[in-house]
Structure 1
Amino acid sequence: MSGRVRVLLALITVTCTHALIDEAVDVILLSKQIGEEVLNSWDVIGKPFNASGGVELPFIRRRERQVLERLSEITRAIRKLELQVDRSSVVATLLAKSVGKGARLELRLHEMADLLSRVDSANRMMRDYVKLQQELERRTLEDFADWCVSHDRGALPGLMERIHALIVPPYKHLFARGLMDLIVDDLEEKNPDVCDLQLSQHQLIYDMYNTIALTEIKGYAMMQFSWMLLRIYGKGNFTQEASLTRQRYSERTARTAAAARAALSMARRDLYRCDPPEHKEGETYAQVTRLLQGYIENEVDMNADNTCSENCAYYTLAANHGCFKDQFCAKQPACKGRIINCQYIDSDMWVCPANKSSTRRYEWIEYENGHTLGHAGSCRRGTTKVDSWWRWLFWHCSYCMCLCDESGPASDRYFSLWDATSDVNNNKVVTGIRLVKYGRVFHLQVSEGALGPRGAVAAAGWVPVTKFDVDDAGVRDGIDYHTLTYEKRAVDLDELDSPQGHVLTGVRFRMIGAHLHFEIRSTPFNYTTGRLSPARSQWISNDNTEGADTPRRRLALERADVPTRARAPLPQDSRHDQYVEFTHSDFDADAAQSTVPFVDIQPVEPSKGGALVSGAGLVHRGARGSGGFLAPKLFTYDFARHVRADPPPDAADAPDADADADADDFMPPASF
């Protein structure tokens, strides 16, 4: 090989490998670049020669060193990406979750974990050999290279074929199903796993694909460089063998990509939280308080004339007008708002008042006829006997069970209408979402991360919420915040996704009529460069109303008890294009003392810390007999269209090589 060509190849080595290290951020790009590196590396060793034919040992060592230097650069690139892929540890995670859930999936995951471990062990050994190449005997490298290309089932080629068979079974006509399909089926049946893993089905399959594809890259690099070393050691030409290795690698990666795309198209992309092991107010949930709360009032105090000429049902909308003769009304805080929808249950009762620090008025109420509201039992403050009475013999002054709609310091019923966005001007996208409560106001909050090339996201943390109180100067109802009332207590339940080629960069509430409405901000981006286009951002919503041709449907909360009392985990029971109304808890179950649904304040954020997200939604988790939770959710980005299986290039597309070299038959591997 001429000196000019050697210099040129040396330059190619430096520029290609550094570009490979700096730019390869996913397996698709890394696969293509390593294929090109392998092709260039065959050029380095030049023509085959016979080591026993008088070739000097220093010449062999020099060629060996050149190949191992190339391999060293490639292993650095693989290691860099390996650290990213390993963060999810998807196979180990799924294996831990699959115990006892089905022998077929569990056995295949065990087998996959074992095979991946063997390939990874060989790759680590190869890295060690590269580091210690000056001290190693030729026999050591030669034995390792022999194993990497051996026909033995336990050797590297056999391991790669067995991994591939788990993803793409060779006998599909016998109803064999690939591992990715089994995972999708399993997760579809066991939604809590998605909650525990905090990865969408789509993410899990995509991470599985990345793990397999990276393993293919490792195996391909080891096998190709093994052929090179064996050729340097004079064991043969190996031109056709290396070509077959490249061809089989291309076939496997193409079929794996096709299987991944099929599974990704079936996998759900939504990400949400389920009930925690233990509900803790302020940590996992928060409450809207004293909105339509159960309230005992005598009819004599609900009219300006202090008469008892009507009955409880007459008072559908009333107010407190005083405290007649300091009876039970003097022992409880009066409703200073509107009194709504009164009903008569029985004349006399025992009332267990709640602690003064509680947002409840009563713990339970027991009537003389045996009817109980709430869970009767012990009463810390002691029960109070409350009896209706007769006035002037023919007027019965009855105690009514009503609802109190009272805003004020004890009622947390406010929702911020301010935008919660990522810093798009610094190329940051939304990576998480949660509802938080500061003071009496609920806010939407987002986490953000810096967007990089090819979907890479570096998590940056939660964007601080700008806190305010509704009594602050300049803060206006209907503009800065929304106040829930009897007439305006509906919340729209929508699941919104961005158009193709866009990502999530913000969320907010706004009012549409009497409904609190959820919206997302979507921003287009360049997948290859990772650059956002902030000027082209748009707010997306489902502006459907009850008066439309196809109106929103109301999600009814029937006999809604406090959701933290549910005996089983509460699944999502809402659908896109519905709405739910904040209301009181059930009279019988809770004396109507709580406002439901509760608000789930658990963060929804992919467990990897930084993941590409395209949409978000507001949903209800609940079941019949439970008030449930109002909760946010996310939609992870759809990577399916970026998983490709391009055919390998023709020989004419290969980089120019030394005219004497016979490595022209080796093409870069297919990009997926």
Structure 2
Amino acid sequence: MTAIRGVAFLALVLVIGPVTGLTHINHLNNEIIDNITDTWRFINAHDEEDFSYNVLNMMKDINKRLDLEEQQSKGIGTVISLFGQQMKRDTRLELKLNEMSNLLNRLEASHSTMKSYLHYYESVDVSTIEDFARYCVSHDPEALIGLLERIHLLVTKKESLLGWSILGLILQNIKDEHPDLCELQMSQHQLIYDMYNTISLAEIKGYAMMQFSWMLLRIYGKGNFTQEASLTRQRYGQRTNQTAAAARAALSLAKRDLHRCDPEVHKEGVTYEMVKRLLQGYIENEVDLNSDGTCRENCAYYTVAENKGCFKDQFCSKQKACKGRIIDCTFVESDMWVCQPNSWYDHRRYQWIKYESGRTLGHADTCSGITTKVDSWWRWNLLHCSYCFCLCEEDVHDNGTQRFFSLVEALADFDRNKVVTGIRLVKHGRVFHLQVSEGTLGERGSVTPGSWVELKSKFDPEDYEVTEGVDFHTLTYEKRAIDLDELESPSGHVMTGARFRMIGAHLHFEIRATPFNYTTGRLSPERSLWISNDNTDGTFSPRKKLDLTSPDIPTRSNVPLPVDSIHDQYMEFTHSDMSKDAAQNTVPYIDIQPVQPLKGAALLSGAGIIHRGIPGSGGFLAAKVITYDFSHHVQAEMPSEENYHEDDTTDFVPMVN
């Protein structure tokens, strides 16, 4: 269960009230309806006057606001591109998307025509404008009203033959064929939400054009049209309410999480990094594992040992000695060929090991380094000095050791109303850090993209001003577990930070949640909370371990690596498989690809640490994000004939017993 940790435990519990406030597009809808309603009031109150000036100004103002909204909208083109290029074809969906695209393009063409007529109103012939107005309110199925009704049916109607509306088909196709949306870097929820905004914007344009047309026809003396305008408003209200209901239904089923998938090419330092020299396959003769220089025991005797020297400059003189702990030794065979890298600075000790029996550890196709024959020997013809295969936990002071995780908080500048818009794992020097990107929170969930926040503290574990367990954690044989959690902010909060901390021997992930007012976009940083899942081995239902089975290095996988972890698990960093890789690498690798939906323009409510992998692969440790849930803001209640004013509601109410 997710726990909420604050600076102090509050005796007075605050609970989140209903999350109120319309979406940006719903709010714009109500403003435009109010504007049109006010204009009709003016027309009806000044029936004997020429009110064309007021009508033209009204429509020009509406068009400016529509154009601004359209610039900020992702548009249905993204959806059509996704399903046309990256997903398996679904004939039902393809037909509906093509029809939707055609209808929206025709509506947009009409809207562009109207804007041209507005711009050149003084010089365009009255008959031309009158003809356009009649088209907008005509009952011809190919006229504007017909376009709007057909768009509406695509969004809301579950046809008896096909059984799915277009939003339902999109969601079904996403879940079946492309559940992660990695290429677009947007969650399922965002994709559905953006499509809803696009359709709603088209509806608003159509409604404004129809009302404008009734006003023009009245100006030209073709009738009163008060009742027609009222019926148009009522039908528009029915359509928008039904569209909102269909969108809420789809949004409630759409996943809000997002992570990165495998890149086309894995590249160290660009798409991934590695923990190095934590547990690594290491060949050592038992004579060098004890201070007496004897061979009385066997390899299995040395469960924890150290290098005590180099007997007669044997193979030990040709390799870099393990200066840390030597763990879990075992005897494989007496004699072998060993391929070593050319450079002592290579993170691998061996490219492969091939025993005389033919057994091979690693891939022994070729050797780009140095091949050495290594043979065990008899001492005084009584004792066999065997070469053991062990694990080396390298000394932490060795520069090749890279197994440190920063415990320093990664925060957005919430005092300047900035929120987290992305997250990634990065390596600076020998230390892995959490890093966040930030953006400025605006009204109704809008976010202005910013940049990646500079690491608060860049350090090396050897620096005197940093402390083990406070500033950083060192992975060791005993303390190499990391918790796999997916954390979300409470309702009415957004994500403003992330950090690692230690719980026992586990590296543990947390997020910072900050309450905000959805309508105004104002943060309340003084009420921020740290969110975590403080589940330990001592609880009634302890975490489940995610085991890595015979793990090869993940860059060798010839299939995509899906998320195989779930919330409330943990895993341990370990060595790659002995047979597949001579245990030369620490797995999982660290995925350092940024997870930043919509290039930093999306509102986030949570994040997590996950594992991507399959049986037989070490996989990748990676970050994920959870996008904000807009479903409870999708409302289309039509304002009354009186001007609509949305309340500036507060997000918090005290608990009432």
Global fold match (TM > 0.5): yes
Structure with the greater alpha carbon radius of gyration: 1
Q: Does 1:641 align with 2:649?
A: no
Q: Percent identity?
A: 60
Q: Does 1:419 align with 2:409?
A: yes
Query: 1:246 and 1:98 mapped to 2: Cα distance?
Result: 40
Q: 2:420 aligns with which of 413, 421, 430?
A: 430
Offset at residue 76 of structure 1 (A): 0.3
Q: Does 1:328 align with 2:285?
A: no
Partner amino acid, structure 2, of 1:66:
N
- Contact map agreement 2:76 2:198 (CA 8 A) in 1: no
Q: Does 1:181 align with 2:168?
A: yes
Query: Which runs of structure 2 are paired with 1:286-435 in the superposition (5 Å)?
Result: 286-356=273-343, 357-406=345-394, 407=396, 408-435=398-425
**2:128 corresponds to which residue?**
140
**2:182 corresponds to which residue?**
195
Query: 1:112 and 1:494 mapped to 2: Cα distance?
Result: 40
CA deviation profile, 1:325-376 (whole Å, cap 9, x unmatched) = 0000000000000000111111111000023131000101100001000000
Query: 2:567 and 2:74 mapped to 1: Cα distance?
Result: 35
Query: Which runs of structure 2 are paired with 1:250-649 in the superposition (5 Å)?
Result: 250-356=237-343, 357-406=345-394, 407=396, 408-465=398-455, 466-646=457-637, 649=640
Query: 1:136 and 1:103 mapped to 2: Cα distance?
Result: 44
- Contact map agreement 2:563 2:613 (CA 8 A) in 1: yes
Partner amino acid, structure 2, of 1:156:
L
**1:94 corresponds to which residue?**
82
Give the secondary-structure state (helix, strand or coil) at the position aligned to 2:536.
coil
- Given the two structures, how large is their TM-score scaled by the length of structure 1? 0.90
Q: 1:37 aligns with which of 23, 35, 38?
A: 35
Query: Which runs of structure 2 are paired with 1:215-234 in the superposition (5 Å)?
Result: 215-234=202-221
Offset at residue 218 of structure 1 (A): 0.5
Offset at residue 548 of structure 1 (A): 1.3
Greater RCO between the two (CA within 8 Å, min separation 6)?
2
Query: 1:26 and 1:547 mapped to 2: Cα distance?
Result: 47
Q: 1:105 aligns with which of 93, 103, 107?
A: 93
Query: 1:29 and 1:194 mapped to 2: Cα distance?
Result: 29
CA deviation profile, 1:65-118 (whole Å, cap 9, x unmatched) = 321111000000111111111368433333434654211112211111111111
- Contact map agreement 1:432 1:604 (CA 8 A) in 2: yes
CA deviation profile, 1:399-456 (whole Å, cap 9, x unmatched) = 1110000122101000000000101110100000000001100000000011111111
Give the secondary-structure state (helix, strand or coil) at the position aligned to 1:570.
coil
CA deviation profile, 1:631-655 (whole Å, cap 9, x unmatched) = 0000001111111232552xxx436
Partner amino acid, structure 2, of 1:636:
T
Query: 1:192 and 1:373 mapped to 2: Cα distance?
Result: 37
Query: 1:609 and 1:299 mapped to 2: Cα distance?
Result: 56
Moved more, 353-362 or 212-221: 353-362
Partner amino acid, structure 2, of 1:307:
T
Partner amino acid, structure 2, of 1:342:
C
* Runs of 5+ consecutive residues of structure 1 not aligned to the other structure: 1-22, 50-54, 656-666
Offset at residue 39 of structure 1 (A): 0.8
- Contact map agreement 2:342 2:370 (CA 8 A) in 1: no
**1:12 corresponds to which residue?**
none
Query: 2:22 and 2:70 mapped to 1: Cα distance?
Result: 11
Partner amino acid, structure 1, of 2:276:
T
Offset at residue 600 of structure 1 (A): 0.3
- Contact map agreement 1:48 1:231 (CA 8 A) in 2: no
- Contact map agreement 2:516 2:522 (CA 8 A) in 1: yes
Distance 1:594 1:29, change over 3 A: same
- Contact map agreement 1:453 1:530 (CA 8 A) in 2: yes
Give the secondary-structure state (helix, strand or coil) at the position aligned to 2:351.
strand
Offset at residue 215 of structure 1 (A): 0.7
Partner amino acid, structure 2, of 1:139:
S
Distance 1:537 1:553, change over 3 A: same
- Given the two structures, how large is their TM-score scaled by the length of structure 2? 0.92
Query: Which runs of structure 2 are paired with 1:23-172 in the superposition (5 Å)?
Result: 26-46=24-44, 62-86=50-74, 89-97=77-85, 100-169=88-157, 172=159
Moved more, 350-359 or 564-573: 350-359
Query: 1:26 and 1:643 mapped to 2: Cα distance?
Result: 9
Offset at residue 505 of structure 1 (A): 0.4
Partner amino acid, structure 2, of 1:386:
V
Moved more, 420-429 or 62-71: 62-71
Query: 2:429 and 2:31 mapped to 1: Cα distance?
Result: 54
Partner amino acid, structure 2, of 1:64:
S
Over aligned residue pairs, what C-alpha RMSD do you find? 1.9
Give the secondary-structure state (helix, strand or coil) at the position aligned to 2:436.
strand
* Runs of 5+ consecutive residues of structure 2 not aligned to the other structure: 1-20, 646-657
Distance 1:387 1:496, change over 3 A: same
Distance 1:347 1:633, change over 3 A: same
- Contact map agreement 1:293 1:405 (CA 8 A) in 2: yes
Give the secondary-structure state (helix, strand or coil) at the position aligned to 1:645.
coil
Give the secondary-structure state (helix, strand or coil) at the position aligned to 2:237.
helix
Offset at residue 131 of structure 1 (A): 1.6
Give the secondary-structure state (helix, strand or coil) at the position aligned to 1:110.
helix
Q: 1:207 aligns with which of 170, 180, 194?
A: 194
- Contact map agreement 1:449 1:461 (CA 8 A) in 2: yes
- Contact map agreement 1:292 1:405 (CA 8 A) in 2: yes
